Structure 1
Amino acid sequence: MIEFINVEKTYTNGTKALENIHLKIEQGEFVAVIGLSGAGKSTLIRCVNRMHDITGGKLIIDEVDVTTLKGKQIRQLRRRIGMIFQSFNLVTRTTVIKNVLVSFVPDNPFWRKLTGIYTKEQKIKALEALDKVGILDKAYVRVDQLSGGQQQRVALARTIAQNPDIILADEPIASLDPVTSKIVMNDFKKINQDLNISVIMNIHHVEIALQYADRIIGIRKGEVVFDGPSEKVTQEILSEIYGGRLEEIQSSTEERLA
């Protein structure tokens, strides 16, 4: 369970990215965070794994205040939290399976890190993760020979192999075409349901967020202006989240999905 208690985030230049954030996210939820660019969506999810440190309030994960963690404790926290980026963060000049095996490096002894030799069990887990996202047949293909959607699925497989409790996804489909976006979103949904992994996703595409997420958190100017089930989201609520730019956002989404 993740709990934000009066969380604030102010950058060193004085910009207030988050203010008065009160949220509870239970294990197994699929949450989409929506709002305009610069509203604080990325900051919100990156606070969960301490990529960004909050400057006020408390952030609790399973009854532990993560703001008090240091050094090795932070690394242990991050082992439980998978992170998916828009840019995939893969080593493109090596094979798919080697990219997935990277998830085991932090737990390996020094000699394995040095030699790049993995155990049979780790290799099996990597292949199982690739199977879960439907690209087992690409295991020994170089990453730079894959499409953008396939690369994002490799990144997702790498995260699954890590066996996380939580997956944070920062605009994971922003650079993908509509058909591929739906394939990747189906993977996220399946993993969320089959493995009971909490998914917290920052996403620009409103219609896709409403289609796949169970819960929507709307952020405007660093504050939560809506938090509720996807089916409760109305045009009025979207207007509150996006202000005068709602039509622009909807038009952009419709063009992308056409």
Structure 2
Amino acid sequence: MIEFINVGKTYPNNVKALDNINLKMEKGEFVAIIGMSGAGKSTLIRCINRMHDITEGEIVVDGVKVSSLKGKEIRTFRRRIGMIFQSFHLVTRSSVLKNVLVSFVPELPFWRKVTGIFSKEQKVKALTALDKVGILDKAYVRVDQLSGGQQQRVALARTLAQNPDIILADEPIASLDPVTARQVMDDFTTINRETDMSIIINIHHVEMALEYADRIIGVREGKIVYDGRAAEVTQEVLDYIYKGQTNDSEPMNKGEKRYV
């Protein structure tokens, strides 16, 4: 469903964030991307939905060449890809429900955008999304009255309401306490299993990545240095991802634990 083909990304200051990335992610996978700060994890995720433009190669999402999209095509494409950030990007003085309804604004006719009137169907979708993440009872509460974990779940509900094919999450639990972080990761797991939605998460919490994700992609200095099942990740693998040290650096067959 998502394929990176010889992808490179160099920023204007000549920093090479991604270097010859070749990668395939299938529909319904729960993938965690791990590595040191500055390794290129966020850039890799943000290139998928054109938040960042690549400078080399090609990214193909469900047959669509992402780099070739222009104007309205990009906006339409992004509707299929939900994005969740460490900062929640919520309007804190508005209700939870209104924050979720924001996901429908791009598709509203002009008069509804001006008046802020949403259809009954859209309200039902928003309430259903809140129910999926366990905070339906907070629908009419102001966001600034919620805990950090509840606010992250509002952001997740807002993404679910747009019914995407893929959810990209950039450090979604970095600012949460361990208990709340686990609740949010449980939500991701439930969504992944019940909807077959692809979840691609950039995460610093290695133990959470190994527990929740099916597949681990290790990034170091803009390159993929490990790609394999979470269950096969050992301390040796982690040392290789984070320190570049290993006793076994030979690439292995696709589908097996492998160092690159």
TM-score (norm 1): 0.94
Separation in 2, partners of 1:101, 1:184: 20
Residue equivalent to 1:8? 8
- Measured after TM superposition, the shift of residue 244 of structure 1 is 7.3
Separation in 1, partners of 2:120, 2:63: 35
Segments of 4+ moved more than 6 angstroms: none
Residue equivalent to 1:151? 151
Q: Secondary structure at the match of 1:7?
A: strand
Determine whether 1:199 maps to 2:199: yes
Residue equivalent to 2:252? none
Residues 98-123 of structure 1 show CA distances to partners (whole Å, capped at 9, x for unaligned) of: 00000001111000000000000000
Q: Which amino acid aligns with 1:77?
A: F
Separation in 2, partners of 1:70, 1:17: 23
Unaligned runs of at least 5 residues, structure 2: 246-260
TM-score (norm 2): 0.93
- Measured after TM superposition, the shift of residue 63 of structure 1 is 1.2
Residue equivalent to 2:258? none
Residue equivalent to 1:232? 232
Residue equivalent to 2:55? 55
Unaligned runs of at least 5 residues, structure 1: 246-258
Determine whether 1:35 maps to 2:35: yes
Separation in 2, partners of 1:27, 1:63: 12
Residues 20-54 of structure 1 show CA distances to partners (whole Å, capped at 9, x for unaligned) of: 10100001100000000000000000000000000
Q: Secondary structure at the match of 1:199?
A: strand
Separation in 2, partners of 1:89, 1:82: 13
Which of 188-197 and 39-48 deviates more?
188-197
Determine whether 1:243 maps to 2:243: yes
- Measured after TM superposition, the shift of residue 175 of structure 1 is 0.3
Q: Which amino acid aligns with 1:51?
A: M
Instruction: Name the structure with the higher helix share.
Output: 1
Give the aligned length. 245
Separation in 2, partners of 1:83, 1:41: 14
Separation in 2, partners of 1:41, 1:135: 30
Q: CA RMSD in A?
A: 0.9
The alignment-based identity, stated in percent, is 74
